[in-house]
Structure 1
Amino acid sequence: MGVLRGFSTELISNAFGLSHDLSKQLVESQSNKLIFKIDNHLPKKSNCEREEYAIDLDAMFKQGGSSSVEITSRDSPLVEEVGLSPKLVRLEPETSLDPYYSRAHQIIYVTKGGGRVQIVGLNGARVLDELVEEGHLVVVPKFFVAALMATDKGLECFCVSMSPRPLTMEIGAACKALSSSVLEVALNVSPDLVKNIKSQI
């Protein structure tokens, strides 16, 4: 991904066993750090000839009624073996997925619609604020906070966490669990504002 452009051609050459020219080409070809568009030459359909799923996220989504469904090692031994957790996110037009963080790196692939992705780093600074559409891929580093907002066409994403137990936590849920006095100090706001925030969560 785009982070490779930050390394010297010598290091890339050594790490990947490439010639100087190929390393230079690899480093210089990197464009954006966290977001890129998937090429149209990739296959749209699976090469699998079977009509069954090991895990049917779509069926689970319809049962749950929320805006996202995630499968962890608690749900399937396959997830533990593979070491990755799949997640399906569907947002209705003009809605959002509350800010959340995970203890695992996450890859978000936009499958339908479009929207805005905002990612905030560990220092509280926004590191990404981009419009995304079908075919875009976004990488969210672990412990960075991400939020998704759908356009008027809605937004559907397939996400993969780099852990069978990603422990994803919504910021709103964490705020609701904390006492009002702790939130006042942590957010540096008045008791009235904390009361208002907690009533909206």
Structure 2
Amino acid sequence: MKKMMQDQEEDDVEEEVKQKTSWSWRKLLESVFGDEIENMKKDNVAHKSPRSCNLYDRKPDFKNSYGWSVALDGSDYSPLKSSGVGIYHVNLKPGSMMTPHVNPRATEYGIVIRGSGRIQIVFPNGTNAMDTHIKQGDVFFVPRYFAFCQIASSNEPLDFFGFTTSAQKNKPQFLIGATSLMKSMMGPELAAAFGVSEDAMQNILNAQHESVILPAEQNNEKNLEHSEMIPKIVKIMT
């Protein structure tokens, strides 16, 4: 019994020494690395996952009788801020055309999820970069500052979805249509650049009452004429 009591007392003393040593080391670590330890504790706390966001539940940013488009950026869905990307979805009715435009902030990647059509891309110097047919399953990308347009086939819609390389609002600049840059640039200089009178140029610009998505009634001939004007418009602007 005496031996057992002595062993127990020795164990108690050893445990007390360990606790004191552990406590002193803890105080030392907290005094030196206090902020880091606190941050580690916070990181170990379970965080609530961000809410999901369904692109199909969002009201289109633009919609008319010929199609619609919707875009999601960091101001709409906070997780996109950390990823640095935006998301968009466009639906064009048969024969309709997404107005030729330029993305000033981001490169755009697209995936055709339904239907078929045509995409035309123009270099910033006004020369043609690509003019090709696209169909379901195809992927395309448009570099920043390159003018481009999409045209749905005459017999089926063109539905495409994709990403942009910026979580900020893209603010595309449209080259033709009711809200185009051409209207803001209207003047004798613009008419001279196209080799027509100012009145003729004004009539051309006022003839298009739609914006963003052009109607099928003016396609295929009218929309093809517009797409053929893109290289010249870009060249004049640059």
TM-score of the aligned structures, taking structure 2 as reference length? 0.57
Kept after mapping to 2: 8 A contact 1:107/1:137: yes
> If you compute each CA radius of gyration, which structure gives the higher value, 1 or 2?
2
Partner of 1:197: 204
Classify 1:57/1:64 alpha carbon distance in 2 versus 1 (closer, same or farther; 3 Å). farther
Determine the C-alpha separation between the residues in 1 that align with 2:94 and 2:119: 15
SS in 1 for 2:157: strand
Structure 2 portions without partners, runs of 5+: 1-50, 209-238
Of all paired residues, the percent bearing the same amino acid is: 24
Cα distance in 1 between the residues matched to 2:107 and 2:93: 25
Q: Is 2:90 aligned against 1:92?
A: no
Question: Which AA in structure 1 matches 2:164?
Answer: S
Give, as a single letter, the amino acid of the residue that structure 2 aligns with 1:153.
E
Distance across 2 between alignment mates of 1:155 and 1:161: 19
Q: 2 CA distance for matches of 1:116 and 1:81?
A: 33
Instruction: Indicate if the aligned counterparts of 1:61 and 1:68 stay in contact, CA closer than 8 A.
Output: no
1:124 equivalenced with 2:126 (yes/no)? yes
Structure 1 gap segments, 5+ residues each = 1-52
**Residue pairs, 1:157-196, within 5 angstroms:** 157-165=160-168, 166-172=170-176, 173-196=180-203
Could you report, residue by residue, the CA deviation over 1:112-168 in whole angstroms, capped at 9, with x for unpaired residues? 000000001111111111100000001111100110000111100002111112332
| Cα separation, 2, equivalents of 1:117 and 1:72 | 24
182-191 or 85-94: bigger deviation: 182-191
Q: Secondary structure at the match of 1:80?
A: helix
RMSD, aligned α-carbons: 2.0
Structure 1 length normalisation: TM-score?
A: 0.67
Q: Would you tell me which structure has more strand in proportion to its own residues?
A: 1
Aligned residues: 149
CA distance in 2, matches of 1:134, 1:185: 42
Taking structure 1 as reference, are residues 157 and 178 closer, same or farther at Cα in structure 2, changes over 3 Å only? same
Shift of 1:169: 1.5
Would you tell me which structure has more helix in proportion to its own residues? 2
Are the counterparts in 2 of residues 73 and 80 from structure 1 also a CA contact under 8 Å? yes
Equivalent residue number for residue 59 of structure 1: 57
Q: Distance in 1 between matches of 2:193 and 2:52?
A: 43
SS of aligned partner of 1:184: helix
